[in-house]
Amino acid sequence: MNDTVAAISTPVGEGGIGVVRISGTDSRAVLERLFRPKAGKTAGKKAVSAGFQNRYMRYGHITDPVSGNAVDEVLAVFMEAPRTYTGEDVAEIHCHGSAVALRRVLSLALREGVRLAEPGEFTKRAFLNGRLDLTQAEAVIDLIQAKTDMTFDTAIRQLDGSLSIEVKKLRDGITELLVDITVNLDYPEEDIDELTQQDIIQNLSALCDQIEKLSASAHTGRIAREGLRVVITGKPNVGKSSLLNALLHESRAIVTEIPGTTRDTIEEGLSIRGIPIRLVDTAGIRETEDPVEMLGVEGSREALAGSDLALLVLDASESLSDADLRVLRCVANRRFIAVINKCDLARRTDADDVRAWIVSNGAEQTNEDRSVAVEMSVKDGVGLDTLEDAIEDFVFRGNPKTGDSALVTSVRHSDLLEKALSEIREGIDMSARGETTDLIEPNIRRAWEFLGEITGETATADIINEVFARFCVGK
Amino acid sequence: MKQYEMEQYDVVVVGAGHAGCEAGLAAARMGAKTLVLSIQLDAVALMACNPAIGGTGKGQLVKEIDALGGEMGLVIDKTFIQSRMLNKSKGPAVHSPRAQADKRRYHEEMKSALERQAGLDLKQGEAVDLLFDDDRVQGVILRTGAIHRAKTVILATGTFLGGRVFMGESTYESGPCGFAPATALSKALRDRGLAIRRFKTGTPARALAQSLHFERMEEQKGDEEIIPFSYMNETVGENKASCWLTWTNAKTHEIIMKNLTRSSLYGGLIKGVGPRYCPSIEDKVNRFSDKERHQLFIEPEGLSTGEVYIQGMSTSMPEDIQRDFYRSIPGLEDAVFTRAGYSIEYDCIDPLFLYPNLEHKEIKGLFCAGQFNGSSGYEEAAAQGLMAGINAALKASDRAPFVLDRSEAYIGVLIDDLVTKGVEEPYRMMTARAEYRLMLRQDNADLRLTEKGYAIGLVSRERYETYLRAKAETETEVNRLRETAIKPEDAAELLSESGFMPLASGISLAELLKRPKIRYAALSTVDSYRPDISARVRERAEIQIKCEGYIKKQLLQIERFRKLENKRLPEDFDYFALDGIRLEAKQRLSRIKPISVGQASRISGVSPADVNVLLIYLKRGGLW
């Protein structure tokens, strides 16, 4: 129970700062491994120690100890047990409020061997260590119960459908391998194909590839690591760059009235309602002779291919044209939101027209169960809220909004995938070294358990059941 | 009927099968005045099914029984006729000893051990009812009217209780091997309100060796080097017999499938639940119809008989069909059968009614062991018998229960699985059931358990000293291997043979041994001062060194596991009074009455959140 845990302990959102809290015996060591103090003006000549004094806040950077890259500029403090919130050694890292920064700092801590805190775990530890009044016990229980149920439910529901299927497939693959191992180890006298070291390596290598691929491509995993990829697309001069700027609340892209101004794709990181987002502005898609612009259009198509969500920008002051249709076709097999811009001008097209147009062009079914069309005027700042609502809805998929859990579960998922992967990799190494199957099996079983935690399947009796279902063994 | 008072005992054991024998011996050895009852003394330690002891998971159980001061290991060492270490090539965590027994001699040796045991009375007699005082058991009543009073009673009734045999279309009340069943006790227990279930098991036909064509089968010989089951024996006798392998074929399957409805199982006569891991041949052929052949072993039943056991071919087919399909198998064409295969249904309880010390939750002083608890197998029975015997003796002298946890022994895994998760079919031990398999090895059961057995007074002084010597010898050898350095040039040949690069500098023998594929035996070429030590010490020194890193890792996991095991829960805890625990969990917790938070966490229907809430209540109540 005294292992070290970490979590983002401020609500995720548009706060100025956010806090990653680490509690447990390793918290000082972990903090010191991640923290690089900023050399003060006078300290330039002598090395600044990474060590923390009890209850002194220090200014510096959290850096990735592997790459050496700075992740965020922070204030950090270490507090010695027992006079802390949890009653254990506690480190707090005060980051910038951005969800991306918080998540990166948390991921680094997890990589240093810290476990992700369960919902309500800090409070639970505080209570168990005698830091909370006895009368608060009931509240703690409610908290654990409510938070666990909520997180558990949302963790499963929030899973991208495809991730869930992939994880299940992976897990089925591991189950099969474990069943083969079990029957080989527990029924050595039976007439059953021997599982060789080579078979195990092959199986594990295939699993390893699959997990790596999944880890890299999964919706949730990538949201956690890079943010949701949102691509702004549309025919030229419908206001894509203006929309980007509006969402960023600042001017980054060059906005002109000449169609085709944006020739490269522009990428920006931002946070909408606490959801980390990579927003990509693209060159307008149109038939073009200009070679430079052609490159840009090609880039747009590529950007679309890697997106989680597309914002298809249309012009309310014009009728829907062939040019719009070309863009619709590009997004038709993706998830997208139609954004009808320039509603401040004389209207030629409204949301109903757009919905009918989407349906008649057969793009509907891929857009979840409904086409979303948002009317707005970027110029006047009208409708921006509605668009942000729609993006948020997209992430939560109509599930109850559960505050910080979206982010936490995302981190949780990538964390679990990583853990499963490292168990499998170790298993491959062991197998290659010639270790016997009984020694490798615990690694495979742990990988199986980690994946089970993602999908919420934790039953462990399956393997033995499966042995008897698949093999004819016994006297 | 006139009843009369006989003796007063601390422990009365009903049944003298593999569970009953260990139970009686353990209780008596711990100083309890003990009676062991058997319906027929010729059925003491009867091997009603296959003539073998050990196997995967089971061999480990026998070693543990022995390490705690039980009898099974000693008896099989005296009576084995062939011995093999299974899984030798698959790693130390799954090395599993298995021996063919001379069935008759096994029975005689075990019976003799009971006869010789001070403080133990072995009697032929059929218990027909239990005596109660309120919710406390007081003794047993025999068919003759004799009353034996006792502080505790152990039920180890096996397939005798309510036994019913099935063979094709015929069925009749019977115990195993034609012995009388215990029908009166079955009825009495039901009348007392015990929830009784029906399980079934089965056995194949026995044939005469002289009628078989062994040249048409494959011989399977015993190991050249035999490591004894008992830690008390440094060496044992030799292999005296072989087993033989042969296979079924399309003809066999055709006969079975054509007559499937004539089997008791498929004919619908059998109601009891049978184990999937011990399927009858009709089950195998029917369920795995794509399998072209099934393997079977011919195992000798002993040296003084020509009878052989046809392992892999248990059946509830009628005798004529049995004869036909057995004879379709190569080597069995002219087989003469002495006994037909049959299925047997028997009474058992839901083990969720038991505490981890195997005492019944509703009847104080009543302990249960073996098939009565829903397990299957001689070794599983013996392990529970031993623990029931220990705990009945402890209870009779008002001492605290003796419970092993999942990290200490297969016995712990076995009993925890039974009393925490329950069973839906007869339970068989497998190494896959043990999370800490690498620690629960067959080579180290004495290191794990003998100290504990000594502390409760079961392990004799002699055994304890033997253990201390073996332990010291192992340590000495491990240290010697660690401290003996080898020059690079001396190791060169050994390394290149195993596919390793030559060394740049010296290395200890232990470091060499840690490399996979390099075995202790092979090291002899570079290890000139090797001491003369027993095979057992050699084996475990090798494993200790080879697996050191993995063992350390597992020990860390065990440490975490123990934290929850050590948080005890009071027996009378009112789970319904707790807010924040889901109703289903409250019901399960109230029913199972876990003794620790660890046990609670393994109950199906109790979530991690429920466990967290439980921890908070315990903390608040100042319970730990």
Report all structural domains of chain B as residue ranges with CATH numbers, in order of start.
4-201+346-455 (3.50.50.60), 206-343 (2.40.30.260), 461-552 (1.10.10.1800), 566-620 (1.10.150.570)
Tokens for B522?
């092979």
Distance from CA of A223 to the nearest CA of B (A): 28
Q: Which residues contact B242 (CB under 8 A, 6 or more apart)?
A: B82, B219, B220, B221, B222, B300
Strand A336-341 and strand A309-315: the pairing is: parallel
Contact of A283 with A265, CB cutoff 8 Å: yes
A474 to B311: CB separation less than 8 angstroms, yes or no = no
Q: Distance between terminal CA atoms of chain A?
A: 44
The chain B residue lying nearest A139, using CA atoms, is B580
Burial of B391 (0-12, 13-18, 19+ CB in 10 A): buried
Contacting residues of A for B56, CB less than 8 Å apart: 185-188
Place of tokens 């065990």: B558
pLDDT at B504: 82
Packing angle, helices B72-79 and B103-116, rounded to 10:
130
DSSP β-bridge partners for residue B11: B34, B152
Rounded Cα distance between B221 and B239, Å, is 8
Angle at A154 between CA A153 and CA A155, to 5 degrees: 90
Return the exposure string of B183-205: e unless at least 16 CB atoms fall within 10 Å of the residue's CB, then b.
Answer: bbbbebbeeeebebeebbbbbbb
> Which segments within B159-314 are labelled E, that is strand?
164-167, 170-173, 196-203, 206-208, 218-220, 243-247, 295-300, 307-311
A191 to B295: CB separation less than 8 angstroms, yes or no = yes
Rounded Cα distance between A8 and A104, Å, is 11
Does ipTM surpass 0.95 in this model? no
The chain A residue lying nearest B246, using CA atoms, is A191
Tens digits of residue pLDDT in A35-57:
998 765 444 444 456 688 899 99
For chain A, give the mean pLDDT: 76
Above 50 in pLDDT, residue A157? no
Lowest mean pLDDT among A61-75, B224-238, B462-476, B492-506: B492-506
B437 to A438: CB separation less than 8 angstroms, yes or no = yes
A438 to B517: CB separation less than 8 angstroms, yes or no = no
Using CB atoms and an 8 Å cut-off, which of residues 377-436 of chain B contact chain A?
421, 430-433
Q: Is B536 helix (H, G, I), strand (E, B) or coil?
A: helix
Phi, psi of B256 (to 5 degrees): -65, -45
The chain B residue lying nearest A186, using CA atoms, is B56
Using CB atoms and an 8 Å cut-off, which of residues 438-477 of chain B contact chain A?
438
Contacting residues of B for A182, CB less than 8 Å apart: 430, 432
Tens digits of residue pLDDT in B508-556:
999 999 988 888 988 888 888 889 888 889 999 999 999 999 999 999 9
Percent of chain B with pLDDT over 90: 80
Using CB atoms and an 8 Å cut-off, which of residues 337-366 of chain A contact chain B?
none
Lowest mean pLDDT among A1-15, A198-212, B285-299, B597-611: A1-15
The CA-atom distances, in angstroms, between B376 and each of B284, B414, B426, B437, B440 are 19, 11, 5, 21, 21
Of the candidates B94, B517, B615, the beta carbon closest to that of A438 is on B94
pLDDT at A46: 47
A189 to B297: CB separation less than 8 angstroms, yes or no = yes
Asked if A138 reaches chain B (Cβ–Cβ under 8 Å), the answer is yes
A438 to B93: CB separation less than 8 angstroms, yes or no = yes
The chain A residue lying nearest B551, using CA atoms, is A439
Tens digits of residue pLDDT in B241-253:
999 999 999 999 9
Tokens for B604?
């199906």
Distance from CA of B598 to the nearest CA of A (A): 13
Give the torsion sign (CA, B461, B463, B465, B467). negative
A145 to B293: CB separation less than 8 angstroms, yes or no = no
pLDDT at B445: 97
Of the candidates A144, A435, A436, the beta carbon closest to that of B612 is on A144
Q: Is the pTM of this model over 0.90?
A: no
Q: Residue A237 — pLDDT band, cuts 50, 70, 90?
A: confident
Using CB atoms and an 8 Å cut-off, which of residues 218-257 of chain B contact chain A?
247
Contact of B567 with B598, CB cutoff 8 Å: yes
Q: Residue B29 — pLDDT band, cuts 50, 70, 90?
A: very high
A186 to B432: CB separation less than 8 angstroms, yes or no = yes
Phi-psi region of B576 (alpha: psi -120 to 50; beta: other; left: phi over 0): alpha
Rounded Cα distance between B486 and B506, Å, is 5
Phi, psi of B299 (to 5 degrees): -115, 130
- Mutation site, A148, A185, A191, interface B, largest B CB count within 10 A: A185
Q: Residue B175 — pLDDT band, cuts 50, 70, 90?
A: very high
Contact of B589 with B606, CB cutoff 8 Å: yes
Rounded Cα distance between B409 and B450, Å, is 12
Q: How would you write A131-175 as a 3-class SS string?
A: CCCHHHHHHHHHHHHHHHHHHHHHHHHHCCHHHHHHHHHHHHHHH
pLDDT at B95: 96
Q: Residue A371 — pLDDT band, cuts 50, 70, 90?
A: low
Of the candidates A145, A185, A434, the beta carbon closest to that of B90 is on A185
Asked if A193 reaches chain B (Cβ–Cβ under 8 Å), the answer is no
Tokens for A348?
């030629």
Asked if A380 reaches chain B (Cβ–Cβ under 8 Å), the answer is no
Contact of A124 with A2, CB cutoff 8 Å: no
pLDDT at A216: 64
For chain B, give the mean pLDDT: 94
Distance from CA of B278 to the nearest CA of A (A): 4
The chain B residue lying nearest A460, using CA atoms, is B433
Give the torsion sign (CA, A203, A208, A213, A219). positive
Tokens for B368?
């249960």
Phi, psi of B566 (to 5 degrees): -80, -10
Q: Residue A329 — pLDDT band, cuts 50, 70, 90?
A: confident
Q: Is A48 helix (H, G, I), strand (E, B) or coil?
A: coil
Of the candidates A127, A148, A468, the beta carbon closest to that of B616 is on A127
B287 to A185: CB separation less than 8 angstroms, yes or no = no
> Which segments within B234-294 are labelled E, that is strand?
243-247
pLDDT at A238: 87
B291 to A433: CB separation less than 8 angstroms, yes or no = no
- Average pLDDT for residues B373-380, to the nearest whole number? 97
Q: Which residues contact B192 (CB under 8 A, 6 or more apart)?
A: B130, B132
Contact of B409 with B558, CB cutoff 8 Å: no
pLDDT at A13: 53
- Average pLDDT for residues B140-145, to the nearest whole number? 97
Distance from CA of A139 to the nearest CA of B (A): 10
Above 80 in pLDDT, residue A100? no
Q: Is A407 helix (H, G, I), strand (E, B) or coil?
A: helix
pLDDT at A370: 53
Tens digits of residue pLDDT in B381-390:
999 999 999 9
- In one-letter notation, the amino acid at residue B419 is V
Asked if B57 reaches chain A (Cβ–Cβ under 8 Å), the answer is yes
Taking alpha carbons only, the member of B208, B217, B210 closest to residue B337 is: B208
Contacting residues of B for A1, CB less than 8 Å apart: 563
The CA-atom distances, in angstroms, between A383 and each of A324, A347, A350, B214 are 21, 15, 13, 89
Alpha helices (runs of H) in B68-177, residue ranges in sequence order: 72-79, 103-116
Above 90 in pLDDT, residue B313? yes
Specify the DSSP element, H or E, that contains B517: none
Above 80 in pLDDT, residue A424? yes
CB pairs below 8 Å between A and B: how many? Answer: 123
Q: How far out from the chain centre does Cα B511 lie? A: 36
